[in-house]
Chains A and B, each alone.
Chain A
Amino acid sequence: MSTLGLQKSKPGAERMFSASRVILLVLLIIAIVLPPFLSPYYLYLLTTIMMTALLAASLNFVLGYGGLLQLHHAVFFGVGAYTVALVLTKTSWPFWTAVIAAPIVAGFFALLIGWFCVRLRGLYFGMLTLALGQLVWAVVYKWRSLTGGDDGIHAIPVPDYLASPTSVYYVNLAVLVISLIILYVIVKSPFGLTLVATRDNPVRSQSVGVNIRRHQLAAFVLAGFFAGVSGVLFVLIEQSVSPSLLYWSKSAEILIMCLLGGMAVFMGPTLGAAVLVILSMVVGTYIDYWLLVLGLVLLLLVLFLPQGVLGFLQEKLSGRKTGEGGERDAAS
């Protein structure tokens, strides 16, 4: 039996894989030694990128791998951030309870919303995520006595050891790396393979015995959980929350990050997050119309790089042609 041959991937893919591992390792080392050489502004910029990258990666888990049109992912990000804010300002519970509660509460919201959404397909699924998400936003916006309404909650107390920008940076880096590794392991697991199968052919998946609704709901909740983790990071960085965190335009930004970096490549959304955060913060300070720049970027992207920046690069480097091969890497 040629079991050995089966487990080996194609030589091109393997070279690609190890090359990208080396690149990631180098990036990680740079990220670890960099902070002393950075001005507070750039430290803040990098920290924000890492927090946003986790958010984008969590969306891509349902969007890219699950093929679920999650149009309002920011809700779980906002719910996570608000959970931390509320626990730390309204209760006397210790800090760590807030940190642990936030992703769980976000995952619970994902369970509630997802339970309804997985009954629908395609665009209808998307419309329902949007509608239910905006409902959560409206509650946060209107429930002034609890959430502070459009003022949000400010000066959220964090422990002293998390007061310096450098320590927040390292916490973000560690959480991002650990979360990405967990997501990557799941993508490579039977759960991930089956998720891709339900994306490509739901009817057939059902026929071989996959309970697709339950599978999709599980993916939805996982993505919501990690969006909640990203919400915790947000509070550490900003020490404030506002309803705009879970407004639909925030979700649109995350969607664009996934498109920009490439949904079919695992690290694509991370790159997309970096590009978009830099654009909004750096370009935004020089040009008043940064949304115009964003629009142009999106236009060029759709026209010339439909598979995203990283998707394009991977295709070029592995010498493969556009099309099925490139998209295949979503699963590999």
Chain B
Amino acid sequence: MLQVEGLAKSFGGFKAVAEARLHVPKGQVAAVIGPNGAGKSTLFNLITGHLKPDAGRIVFKGKDITALAPHQVSRLGVSRSFQLLNVFPRLTVFENVQVAVLARLRQSGKMFTPARKLVVTETTEVLDKLGLTAYADRLCTSLSYGDQKVVEIAISLGSSPELLLLDEPTAGMSPEETRTIVQLIKNLSGSEGLTILLTEHDMDLVFDVAQRIMVLHQGMTIAEGRPEDVKKDKAVQNAYLGETG
């Protein structure tokens, strides 16, 4: 579904991503792992169009999306959540998701219909799925950090993506909140059939949910494949897994 080849991006001489390749098959959960500064977030920003690569190709469903702007990538069915909280703090939880649903259904430009009457069913469906219905009318900032991270994912789902990118979905979460997220990822992948690409620090989580793993080290892909194979890979053990134990 997603194919990344020879992707490179430098910032003023620093090669954040030098030679990244990645293959995410439809319906699977894939994970990108690597130490801090390995270029994981840069890779995500390249895929979603927030950054333009210096070299390489990104292909989604057979279509080259390398040069597209973020809103165009989103409209093709790639949606992402962010590592740091990136919600609409002064909108309600309902409106947070509604903005995404409206954009997907190309209704953001409507001027003469009250917004509260539009796409209510679609928005409620996403809230129900993530257990946010009780918070619908609360301002996003009034929720706990963990719940806001769930809103973060809910916004991404509002775009009804085929490919969901999760940038460290459990960063800063308590073990209990992390378990909720893991369950959520499994549900989305299992019952919804969503293709998911995530980055994560927590190795247990990665090996728990991912069917495919890519290891990024200093901007280079040093291994890619099934979790068992990646675990056994010499280069990976030297570069990463060995260090952290």
Contacts and interface: CB of A to CB of B under 8 A. Distances in A.
Interface of A: 1-3, 5-10, 185-186, 188-194, 196-197, 200-201, 203-212, 215, 218, 324-325, 327-328, 330-331
Given A189-B115, A204-B82, 15 more contacts: A6-B136, A9-B137, A189-B113, A190-B109, A190-B118, A200-B88, A201-B88, A203-B86, A206-B71, A207-B48, A207-B82, A208-B100, A208-B156, A210-B108, A328-B91
A190 B110 contact: yes
Given A190-B102, A190-B113, A194-B99, A3 B124 contact: yes
Contacts of B31: none
A208 B113 CA distance: 21
Interface of B: 48, 50, 69-71, 74-75, 79-80, 82, 86-91, 94-95, 98-100, 102-104, 107-118, 120-121, 124, 128, 133, 136-137, 139, 141-142, 155-156, 158-159
B71 A211 contact: yes
Contacts of A327: 90
Contacts of A188: 114-116
Nearest to B77: A209
List 3 A-B pairs, minimum CB-CB distance, nearest first: A208-B100, A209-B74, A209-B103
Nearest to B120: A3
Contact of B104 (A2, A3, A200, A208): A208
Contact of B136 (A5, A186, A194): A5
A208 B159 contact: yes
A204 B151 CA distance: 13
A190 B111 CA distance: 6
Given A189-B114, A218-B109, A209 B159 contact: yes
A5 B112 CA distance: 23
A191 B90 contact: no
B99 A189 contact: no
A212 B70 CA distance: 10
B87 A204 contact: yes
A186 B71 contact: no
A146 B108 CA distance: 41
A208 B107 contact: no
13 contacts: A6-B133, A190-B107, A191-B109, A193-B98, A196-B88, A200-B90, A201-B88, A206-B69, A206-B70, A208-B159, A210-B103, A324-B90, A331-B91
A191 B124 contact: no
A186 B111 contact: yes
Contacts of A330: 90
Contact of B79 (A207, A218, A325): A207
